[in-house]
Amino acid sequence: MRRQGKNALQKVEVKKACLRRDVQLKFEELLSKLKTVATGISVSTKNIGPGFVFVCVAGVNADGHEFAKEAIRLGAILVVCNRDIGVPNQIVVKDTRQAYARLCAEWFNSPAKKMKLIAVTGTNGKTTVTTLTKRVLSCLLNEPVGLIGTIQNEIGGIVCPARYTTPDAHELNAILLQMRRFGCRYVVMEASSHALAQERLFGLEFEVGVFTNLTHDHLDYHQNMDSYLAAKRKLLDTSRNVIVNIDDDYGRLLFANFHQQKDCRSVGLRSPADVSAKDINCFADRVEFQVVTNGNACHCVFGMPGSFSVENALTVISILIQLGFDMKMVVAALEKCGGVAGRAEVVYTAPDVTVIRDYAHGPSGLLNILKSFKPFAKGRLVLLFGCAGCRDRSKRKEMAKIAATYADFVVLSSDNPREEPEAQIFSDAEKGLKNVEYLVIANRLEAVHFVLQNRQPGDLILLAGKGHEDYQVLADCTVYFSEAEIVKKFFDKHID
C-alpha cells in the first residue's frame, strides 16, 4: 500500500513538472495532453485529488472561482477559469461550462462519437417519448439500446438509478462509455432545459433532436419564457434531424426557423403535419387512431390513455421513421410496449373505482391529464395534488384554478415541500381553489388514505405530482414514499 501511494505521488510530481515547463499551456493543448497531464477532472473541491484539473463554474449558489485556491491546496495542478484569478497554472477560457464538457468527453474517449444519440426536450412528454423510443428501438434492432432519463438510466436491460433528468458532463460521458462498452449503437435521452442552459450537453451531436412543447414551468430558474425557449432550442441547433410538435405555439415558431435549415419533420393533431393522426378514439386504458404520413395510414392501438398519449405516440413513430424504419413495423412494435411508470398509470381499477397516478406537476400537465380523464369518470373526478416547495410560486394558483375547473373534489396536500413552509405553499394554491369542494391535508400519506377511504361508487381518483417518484423531499430529510405501493397495500387490506 505504501509503495502504491509513493508511486502515485511520483506520477503527480512528474505531471507538475510537465506543467512547470509549459505554464502557458493553452486549452486546446490541454485537451490533447489531458491524460498525460491530469489524474482527473472536477468542478467541486469535494472531489479534488492530487493531479486533478479544477474547472471553475459559477452555479446558482456559489462560484467555483472562489474555491480555486482551496482546490490547489487539495492537490489540483491546473485551474480552468473564465478570468485571471491569480493562481499558478491557470487557463483562462471564455466559457468554463463548455470547457468542462469538452474535457469530460476527452477524458472518457468521446464515447458519443461512436453512437447515434436521440434527445427529446420540452416541458411535458420527455419521459414517455424517450422510454417508448428506447423500447421500440430495442424491439426492432434486437440489441441493447441506452436510455438516460428522469425515472432511470438503462443500459440495455440493466437499470441504473438516475439522480437528474440529464446528468452533468462527467457522469453523462461515464454513462455513455458504459453504454458503448455494452454494445449500444443508439442512446435515447431526455434533455432538460437546465442541462441545456448549463452546457452539460455541449459538444455532443445528435442524430435526432425532438421538441415536444413549452409551457409555464421552471421560471424560477429561467426567469422568462424567452430564456426557457432559448435553452430548449440549443438541442435542435446541434441535431442533424429535427422533429417538432407544431400544435404547440413555440413549436410552430421553431419549425419555421428550422425547416429550411435541416431535415425537419413536423408532428401534429390539430395542424397539418408530416406525421398526424385521424379517427382518434380514447378509452380509459388506451387510445386508438390512424397514423398518417406521406399519404399512407396505419391503424395503431396504443396502451396509454389520454388524448395527449396520441401526441406522444406520433412523436415516437416520427423518430423511428426519421431513423429509417418502416412505419408499419414501428407501429407494431409500439403496440407491444406497455405504459410508462407514473405517466397516466392505472394503479388500481375495479367496477366501482379507478385510481391513476401521474407526474403532472405544472399547469399544462395537470390540465392535460384532467381533461383527458374527465369523460371516463362514471362518478366524481377526485384530485389529490400538491405544489413543490422552493420552486416557481407563480404556477401554484394557476394549477389550483385548473383543479377547481375540472375536478369534482380536490385534496390539496404536500408534494416535495423541501425547506419551504407548507403553510405558504398551501396559501399560494388556495387562492385558486374557488367554487370547488376541497380539503387541505398536509400529510401526503394521510391524504392518499383519505381519498381511498372516502371513495364513492364510480369515482376516478387522480394522484397528481409524484408519478414515478418513490420518495418525498422534506425540510430535513428525504423519505421513502411510493403512491403505487400505498394504493396496493390499502386495497389488499380493505378488499377481499
Share above pLDDT 90 across residues of the chain, in percent, rounded to a whole number: 74
143 with 242, same domain?
A: yes
Name the pLDDT band for 283 (thresholds 50, 70, 90).
confident
- Looking at the structure of the chain, the number of domains it has is 3
307 with 217, same domain?
A: yes
Given 69, 103, 137, the domain boundary residue is 103
Given 306, 336, 366, the domain boundary residue is 336
Any idea what the CATH number is for the domain that residue 461 is in? Answer: 3.90.190.20
Nearest to 451 by CA among 339, 342, 348: 348
366 with 329, same domain?
A: no
360 with 432, same domain?
A: yes
Q: Which three cell numbers stand for residue 304?
A: 396509454
Residue 166 above 70 pLDDT? yes
For position 262, what pLDDT does the model report? 83
76 with 147, same domain?
A: no
Residue 17 CA to residue 9 CA, distance in Å, equals 12
49 with 187, same domain?
A: no
350 with 231, same domain?
A: no
Nearest to 322 by CA among 215, 186, 444: 186
Residue 388 CA to residue 396 CA, distance in Å, equals 9
> What is the pTM assigned to this prediction?
0.86
For position 46, what pLDDT does the model report? 93
Residue 314 CA to residue 268 CA, distance in Å, equals 8
80 with 126, same domain?
A: no
199 with 285, same domain?
A: yes
48 with 74, same domain?
A: yes
For position 12, what pLDDT does the model report? 53
Any idea what the CATH number is for the domain that residue 287 is in? Answer: 3.40.1190.10
The DSSP secondary-structure symbol of 84 reads: -
> Residues 6 or more apart from 33 whose CB is under 8 A from it?
18, 25
Residue 62 CA to residue 41 CA, distance in Å, equals 19
Q: What is the mean pLDDT of residues 478-490?
A: 96
Q: What is the mean pLDDT of residues 325-346?
A: 92
For position 231, what pLDDT does the model report? 87
332 with 349, same domain?
A: no
Given 336, 363, 380, the domain boundary residue is 336
Name the pLDDT band for 162 (thresholds 50, 70, 90).
confident
- The domain containing residue 446 runs over which residues? 345-494
Any idea what the CATH number is for the domain that residue 75 is in? Answer: 3.40.1390.10
Residue-wise pLDDT tens digits, 192-229? 988 998 999 999 999 999 999 988 665 555 457 788 88
- The H or E element that residue 456 is part of is none
144 with 56, same domain?
A: no
**Count helices and strands in the chain by DSSP H and E runs:** 17, 23
Residue 50 above 70 pLDDT? yes
Name the pLDDT band for 21 (thresholds 50, 70, 90).
very low
- The H or E element that residue 107 is part of is helix 96-107
Share above pLDDT 70 across residues of the chain, in percent, rounded to a whole number: 93
Residue 20 above 60 pLDDT? no
